[in-house]
Amino acid sequence: MALLETVRDPARLRELTAGELRDLAAEIRAFLIERVSASGGHLGPNLGVVELTIALHTVFESPRDRLLWDTGHQSYVHKILTGRQAGFDRLRKSGGISGYPSREESEHDLVENSHASTALSYADGLARADAHLGRRDRATVAIIGDGAMTGGMAWEALNNIAGGPDRPLVIVLNDNQRSYAPTVGGLAEHLADLRAGRGPGVFEQLGLGYLGPVDGHDIAAVQDALRRATVLGGPVVVHVITAKGKGYRHTETNDLDLGHAVKPMDPHTGQALKASSRSFTSVFGDKLVELAERRADLVAITAAMTEPTGLLPLQRRFPDRVIDVGIAEQHAVTMAAGLSMGGVHPVVAIYSTFVNRALDQLLMDVALHRRPVTFVLDRSGVTGDDGPSHNGMWDLSVLQVVPGLRIAAPRDGTRLAELLDEAVVWDEGPTLLRFPKGPAGEDLPATATFNGLDVLRRSGSLDVLIIAVGVLAPLALTVAESVAAQGIGVTVVDPRWVTPVNPALADLARRHRLAITVEDNSRAGGAGSAIAQTLRDADVHTPLREFGIPRRFLSHGSRAEVLAACGLTAEDVTRAVAELLTGLDTAPAGIDDLGIWPVHPGQVHSGEQR
């Protein structure tokens, strides 16, 4: 790493010869393979942009010139070249560097993105600001992948950028033909034409300059194209061809995603260090195949994330029944409404954090039309190592306002399968399931049911009612165990269907001295706040305390660390419950069987509460 150690600042690159820059590229690849295999992260995309990033930092002078990485997962090389090599010891770990651009880390990072297809809009704004202020002394450069280019926002931006032929702006289109999987659709076909030199292309026809295709692994060729783009002035697309995962056998040969995002692994074998236990994602994927075998009208939709959202088994079984729309969540949702109008039942599989993009479509195009579309949100709650933008901590807050939408939060794999069964037969409007990244864990059977609620524990007098949302059920049971050991009576219920709020929760809360809710959604507008409203509407005066995520952006770290930082640990909640009960002046309640119905073996829910 002789050369790399001398690079503390991009200015150093401008002192190196062409041969030294090539050697540096090899050192950076070795560095990436070593560090990212240890920590996990976006290896493939970064291996593909080594030469491109070097070329960018030699032609442009960051931070005066603004380099904007769309999505941002491919900014590791940029981080390495801007003084952050040491940070790779704790990549994506608590207190270490982020896996995305971060303004806190460096003046070379202007935007914190990670949600795709935004860079061209930021760039258009920067170029317009320069025009407004009469500044021509700094460049604006947006680097966008062919995957991110499938997003609608990118085309809204292109339309605007093309409308300003006097505003200099360099758009580097990093075409590696991949999102996670191969990029699909008409644009992918068109880029294939451009790669083959069959133009003129759509960019020129829109009125933008176009240079390329350029070999993105040839530093000198990329430098030359970037210089010509700045001389041209106005908005110019530089079409750069790269190979995702380049230079490392285990990413180059990974057909699934070319090592888009790797888990910590042995760099020699490419094998993950820890065998992963059965995840919610895979329970969902297998259950969907079972449903699809039974129902020919069922199809799944993904926004460029077939494998990560668990749709691979369905795609293998019924290739025509998984629709990849590209990174186009808004289109996915309204298209699902159309499919449903045409007699098909769509299951839209999407990460929680990305559904925010399609709120209007879900509200107006699906719910207003009462379309029975099923949404399955993976990565709900705290995701952790991907940082603030990837936590799925807003879905309940954003979606509980949608009239007619039924939302369920399965606490374990069995509940996920049951709730999916219930969701796809509901035909009066949309349904949605939310669950987190990670293992589905042990099954937690109900001991009894109460008007559609699963009772997970009932012991002692009616002191505290714990309402556990989805995967916080194990935490609720640990809290119950601890408070019971202090002589406090406790009831734990899982509502299964969180929205609309089951009125039985008000009946139960009325009979306890204290009620608490625990959820891994923002406390603002979360399940707890909806339950609090239901209690007030029902004139229930039992005090209620909501435990959830504070209204803050959460820094990266492991899921457990992030939850602990939010006070969502069994210890914290136990302490709070004991304190709250001590502060109450109500007399301890008596023991009551609550009219709870025991669960008989083999009993299956049939959506009792609607």
Ligand X SMILES: Cc1ncc(C[n+]2csc(CCOP(=O)(O)OP(=O)(O)O)c2C)c(N)n1
Is 357 a known active-site residue? yes
Nearer to ligand X by Cβ, of 48 and 528: the residue is 48
191 φ, ψ (degrees, to nearest 5): -65, -35
Determine if 304 is a binding residue for ligand X (CB under 6 A): yes
Contact mark string toward ligand X, 34..53, x via CB under 6 A: -----------x--------
**Tokens read off for 82:** 């801007």
Determine if 176 is a binding residue for ligand X (CB under 6 A): yes
Which position among 35, 178, 357, 371 bears the catalytic label? Answer: 357
One-letter-per-residue 3-state SS of 286-341 = HHHHHHHHHCCCEEEEECCCCCCCCCHHHHHHCHHHEEECCCCHHHHHHHHHHHHH
- State the minimum distance, in angstroms, from the CB of residue 127 to ligand X: 21
Among 57, 108, 244, 513, binds ligand X (CB under 6 A): 244
Nearer to ligand X by Cβ, of 117 and 529: the residue is 117
Strand, coil or helix: 587: coil
- State the minimum distance, in angstroms, from the CB of residue 188 to ligand X: 10
Listed in sequence order, the DSSP H helices in 378-443 are 395-399, 413-425
Choose one: 201-209, 231-239, 276-284, 302-310; the region binding ligand X (CB under 6 A).
Answer: 302-310
- State the minimum distance, in angstroms, from the CB of residue 179 to ligand X: 4
Determine if 529 is a binding residue for ligand X (CB under 6 A): no
Please list, in sequence order, all residues whose beta carbon lies within 8 angstroms of the beta carbon of residue 167, skipping any fewer than 6 positions away: 127, 128, 130, 131, 161, 234, 235
- State the minimum distance, in angstroms, from the CB of residue 250 to ligand X: 17
Nearer to ligand X by Cβ, of 99 and 429: the residue is 99
Choose one: 104-112, 171-179, 391-399, 566-574; the region binding ligand X (CB under 6 A).
Answer: 171-179
* Among 339, 420, 418, CA closest to 378: 420
Element (H, E) at 514: strand 514-522
- 3, amino acid identity: L
Number of residues that bind ligand X (CB under 6 A): 25
Tell me the Ramachandran region of residue 114: left when phi exceeds 0, alpha when psi lies from -120 to 50, beta otherwise.
left
Q: What are the C-alpha distances in Å from 379 to residues 280, 354, 418, 463, 556?
A: 10, 10, 19, 34, 14
* Among 415, 384, 338, 408, CA closest to 556: 384
- State the minimum distance, in angstroms, from the CB of residue 115 to ligand X: 4
Question: 82-141: which residues touch ligand X (CB under 6 A)?
Answer: 114-116
Strand, coil or helix: 539: coil
Nearer to ligand X by Cβ, of 52 and 516: the residue is 52
Nearer to ligand X by Cβ, of 28 and 480: the residue is 28
Among 148, 188, 349, 362, binds ligand X (CB under 6 A): 148
Determine if 411 is a binding residue for ligand X (CB under 6 A): no
Cα radius of gyration rounded to whole Å, the chain: 26
Choose one: 146-154, 278-286, 338-346, 413-421; the region binding ligand X (CB under 6 A).
Answer: 146-154
Q: For the chain, give me the number of helices (H) and strands (E)?
A: 22, 19
Residue 568 to residue 520: CA distance in whole angstroms: 8
Q: Residue 596 gets which letter from DSSP?
A: P
- State the minimum distance, in angstroms, from the CB of residue 394 to ligand X: 14
Q: Which residue has the tokens 């419950």?
A: 577
Question: Hey, CA dihedral for 11, 12, 15, 18, is it positive or negative?
Answer: negative
Choose one: 134-142, 177-185, 411-419, 517-525; the region binding ligand X (CB under 6 A).
Answer: 177-185
- 283, amino acid identity: V
Determine if 73 is a binding residue for ligand X (CB under 6 A): yes
Burial of 75 (0-12, 13-18, 19+ CB in 10 A): buried
Determine if 385 is a binding residue for ligand X (CB under 6 A): no
Contact mark string toward ligand X, 247..286, x via CB under 6 A: -------------x--------------------------
Whether the ω angle into residue 63 lies within 30 degrees of 0, i.e. cis, is: yes
Question: 208-227: which residues touch ligand X (CB under 6 A)?
Answer: none
- State the minimum distance, in angstroms, from the CB of residue 35 to ligand X: 18
Among 76, 354, 435, 450, binds ligand X (CB under 6 A): 354
Listed in sequence order, the DSSP H helices in 235-279 are 249-252
Nearer to ligand X by Cβ, of 48 and 452: the residue is 48
Which position among 66, 79, 92, 244 bears the catalytic label? Answer: 244
Nearer to ligand X by Cβ, of 381 and 607: the residue is 381
- Pair 71, 148: CB distance under 8 Å: yes
Please list, in sequence order, all residues whose beta carbon lies within 8 angstroms of the beta carbon of residue 489, skipping any fewer than 6 positions away: 459, 460, 461, 462, 463, 464, 588, 589, 591
- Pair 322, 315: CB distance under 8 Å: yes
- State the minimum distance, in angstroms, from the CB of residue 192 to ligand X: 14
Among 81, 158, 172, 327, binds ligand X (CB under 6 A): 327
Nearer to ligand X by Cβ, of 168 and 438: the residue is 438
Nearer to ligand X by Cβ, of 182 and 234: the residue is 182
Nearer to ligand X by Cβ, of 178 and 458: the residue is 178
Choose one: 145-153, 275-283, 461-469, 541-549; the region binding ligand X (CB under 6 A).
Answer: 145-153
- State the minimum distance, in angstroms, from the CB of residue 398 to ligand X: 15
Among 71, 279, 502, 517, binds ligand X (CB under 6 A): 71
298 φ, ψ (degrees, to nearest 5): -100, 125
Choose one: 89-97, 123-131, 143-151, 479-487; the region binding ligand X (CB under 6 A).
Answer: 143-151
- Pair 214, 225: CB distance under 8 Å: yes
Nearer to ligand X by Cβ, of 73 and 415: the residue is 73
Determine if 145 is a binding residue for ligand X (CB under 6 A): yes
Among 179, 374, 391, 517, binds ligand X (CB under 6 A): 179
Among 124, 146, 418, 546, binds ligand X (CB under 6 A): 146
Is 545 a known active-site residue? no
Whether the ω angle into residue 500 lies within 30 degrees of 0, i.e. cis, is: yes
Q: Show which residues are catalytic.
A: 244, 329, 357
Binding site for ligand X (CB under 6 A): 45, 71, 73-74, 114-116, 145-148, 174, 176, 178-180, 244, 260, 303-305, 327, 329, 354, 357
